Amino acid sequence: MLVTLKQIAEELGISITTVSKALKEYPDVSKKTRKLVRETASLLNYKPNAFAVNLRTKESKTIGLIIPEIVHHFFSSVIKGIISQAEKKGYLVITLQSNESYELEKKQLNLLLSKRVDGILISLANETADFKHLTEITEQETPLVMFDKIAKVVKCSKVIIDDRKAAYKATAHLISIGCTRIAHFRGPLLPQNSIDRFLGYKQALTDHNITYDASLVYLLKDMSFEEGAFYAKQLLKDHNDVDGIFINTDLVAIGAISALTQMGIKIPDQINVVGFSNWFMSSVISPSLTTINQPGFQMGKKAFKILYKQIKDKKKNKGITYKEHILETDLIIRDSTKQ
Amino acid sequence: MLVTLKQIAEELGISITTVSKALKEYPDVSKKTRKLVRETASLLNYKPNAFAVNLRTKESKTIGLIIPEIVHHFFSSVIKGIISQAEKKGYLVITLQSNESYELEKKQLNLLLSKRVDGILISLANETADFKHLTEITEQETPLVMFDKIAKVVKCSKVIIDDRKAAYKATAHLISIGCTRIAHFRGPLLPQNSIDRFLGYKQALTDHNITYDASLVYLLKDMSFEEGAFYAKQLLKDHNDVDGIFINTDLVAIGAISALTQMGIKIPDQINVVGFSNWFMSSVISPSLTTINQPGFQMGKKAFKILYKQIKDKKKNKGITYKEHILETDLIIRDSTKQ
């Protein structure tokens, strides 16, 4: 059984208050008694009773994290970044998975609030189109930081990449190597990042005097390898003149490359492919995939750092200032596009 | 700011005790008052104050999870299984990553204990060779369940697969299709599962009258794609008569297949390859990989279920009975081995 302060007090024949003070190194307890208490506590294997919510400081030293999907290389990298940074600052992280469901996300936010977490980190579900559950949190002054999949209208700190700029860079690269019929496999309609990637693609075409053709844009649902293979085949049926594809995420791009290769299409000679995320498999497949590097681990670290500052500011009754932090992304040129 | 019981009481001009009782639907508060309190609470957006450790029941309704590495398909599947099951039972999960470090694992266990979690789930770090920190927990009667990477000597519940049997099956499959010079890329020396996979490999050879040759066994360190490619090349230099390889994990096997293919080796005609884990990429690469299916999601669910039962039994002062649950594994035959 866990040893209590009372047991230490009984063991030594002193009061519980003295034991408690001694363990906190209060100077009104003699050095000798403090040493004795420390030694007895260690001997009995006493663990300080840190109730998750400290009744005095009202801090739980835990934060909540809601993520759409854990089994996903980008998101598990973000989780790792958050957890590693939180641990350095003495915070624990409660992780929940929304499964891209709006209802679950709402329920989980309330659950975390009821557990009195000191702050919340969230990446939104694809389904989420109403943001009342989020504005409620900021109105209650619970520190909240959104990352990756955010809602622009909610006033809170955000850690993102510039998806539009990155997508522009990816598309402009295809244009610079001579592509003129460029398809785009876009993400679902709702999340801001798939909208922004689509807009970046479109803008790059316009800026380079290439007419935007809506029939070259394919809407992904589950963003799987299989979907990449499926739409690659569909694309070839629909447009035999396509010379480049910009794809919302690497896993789908790898599916597309696999299907194109099986159909005897030469990559990059006939079709150039650019992905997005820089999944670790992208550098090792053949041909290796040109892609945008999306820094998951750094995003997690940064999101925690901003949340931590907000928690500290709140404690000092400082007003919260919202920050939008944009992480840099690079285009990594590999063998799936012409040199 | 968060609304307190006091504010509701002031709003209605009644006592805090009455508000508290009304919210808990105590019959000694009139129906009318209960309704009024409920409505006011809802109007003020009151959230019940669930301190993470309930002072009455001494339950925190949180459990701790220590995992060696989050960014890993198998482990993130386990986490998902644990979290999904925990949520169903109203438990939250605090996740920590040991980074395969013994020191960190020890520190994290103490941290979780000091946070008064109701139970702990752990998969051991590769470095962990001393188990005192774990026996201490079971001696204190904190429910503990180990999964995947376990310590046989620690008395607690465990959820594992039969690694030896699975490895035996994988190796016997290679023998059944005619292989006689079978290499093994084994995992690091310490974790029980890599020892067991090696022993299963060795046993299958012996049982089929194939002499065990230690020079055909290669020791992996970081179990990466690159390491798979590296040792595949090394193996061909060392043994030009090799006709089969059983590899500790799929990612390494995919690295090996990639290197062998680049060297012009025909798989499975010249060399047959069997992996372990059934990573989702294994079915989509070319040639697709014959492998052992390691059920991560189910393992996570089962581990939580056993922990949950122990937490409940402890509450009822029932003695804890330790269970060792072995999940079934299948050999999935694909194109990297001859039909």
Q: What is the sign of the dihedral through the CA atoms of B141, B146, B149 and B153?
A: positive
For residue B165, which of B124, B121, B196 has the smallest C-alpha distance? B196
Residue in A115, A140, A278 to test binding to B, most B beta-carbons within 10 Å = A115
Is residue B89 domain-shared with residue B209, that is, in the same domain? no
**pLDDT, tens digit, 9 for 90 and up, residues A185-235:** 999 988 889 999 999 999 999 999 999 999 999 999 989 999 999 999 999
Please identify which residue in the block is written with the tokens 């469901």.
Answer: A101
B25 in the same domain as B142: no
A155 and A304 both lie in a single domain? yes
Considering the domain architecture, whether residues B290 and B172 belong to the same structural domain is answered as yes
One domain for residues B154 and B173: no
Contact at CB, A80 and B87, closer than 8 angstroms: no
* Cβ contact, residue pair A80, B71, below 8 Å: yes
- Tell if the CB–CB gap between A76 and B77 is shorter than 8 Å: no
Res B51: pLDDT:
46
Query: B71 lies in which domain range?
Result: 62-160+297-329
Distance from CA of B196 to the nearest CA of A (A): 27
Same domain? For A200 and A261 the reply is: yes
Q: Can you list the residues of chain B whose pLDDT is less than 70?
A: 1-3, 47-57
Contact (CB<8Å) B76/A72: yes
- The kind and range of the H/E element at A242 are none
Residue of A nearest to B112 (CA): A92
**Is A336 part of a structural domain of the chain?**
no
Number of structural domains, chain A?
A: 3
C-alpha closest to that of A164 among A186, A180, A181, A147? A186
- What CATH number is associated with residue A153? 3.40.50.2300
What gap in Å lies between CA B273 and CA B282, rounded to an integer?
Answer: 12
> Of A15 and A56, which is predicted with more confidence?
A15
**What percent of chain A has a predicted confidence (pLDDT) above 90?**
69
Find tokens 């990429």 and name the residue.
B281
- A134 and A182 share a domain? no
**C-alpha to C-alpha distance for B105 and B91, rounded to whole angstroms:** 22
Nearest CA in chain B to A63: B94
* pLDDT at A307 exceeding the cut of 50: yes
Is the same domain home to A277 and A177?
yes
B57 at A interface, C-beta within 8 A: no
Q: What residues have CB less than 8 Å from A58, skipping those under 6 apart?
A: A116
User: For residue A2, is pLDDT > 60?
Assistant: no
CB proximity A95 to B under 8 Å: yes
Alpha-carbon span A157 to A155, nearest angstrom: 7
ipTM of predicted assembly, 2 dp: 0.78
Q: B204 vs chain A: nearest CA distance in angstroms? A: 33
Query: Looking at the partner chain, which of A116, A225, A261 has a beta carbon nearest the beta carbon of B52?
Result: A116
Is the domain of B217 the same as that of B289? yes
Does the residue A194 lie in any domain? yes
End-to-end CA distance of chain B: 67
* Statement to judge: residues A201 and A276 lie in one domain: yes
Q: Are residues A154 and A172 part of one domain?
A: no
Question: Could you tell me which residues come within 8 angstroms of residue A64 by beta carbon, excluding any fewer than 6 positions away?
Answer: A93, A94, A96, A108, A109, A112, A115, A117, A119, A120, A121
Cβ pair B1:A141 closer than 8 A = yes
* Angle (nearest 5°) at CA B105 between B99 and B107: 125
Q: Is B94 in Cβ contact with A93 (below 8 Å)?
A: yes
Touching check for A258 and chain B: CB below 8 Å?
Answer: yes
Q: Name the B residues in 142-171 with CB < 8 Å from any A CB.
A: 142
Find, in chain B, the residue whose alpha carbon is nearest to that of A61: B115
For residues B219 and B188, what is the distance between their CA atoms, to the nearest angstrom?
6
| A128 exposure class (CB count in 10 Å sphere: 0-12, 13-18, 19+) | buried
Amino acid found at A115: K
> Do A157 and A301 fall within a single domain?
yes
Residue B48 maps to a domain: no
Q: Do the domain assignments include residue A56?
A: no
* Cβ <8 Å between A92 and B97: no
Q: In degrees, to the nearest 5, what angle opens at C-alpha A99 toward C-alphas A91 and A140?
A: 50
In chain B, which among 37-56 make CB contacts under 8 A with chain A?
45, 47-53, 55
Mind listing the pLDDT tens digit for each residue in A289-306? 999 999 999 999 999 999
| pTM for this prediction | 0.81
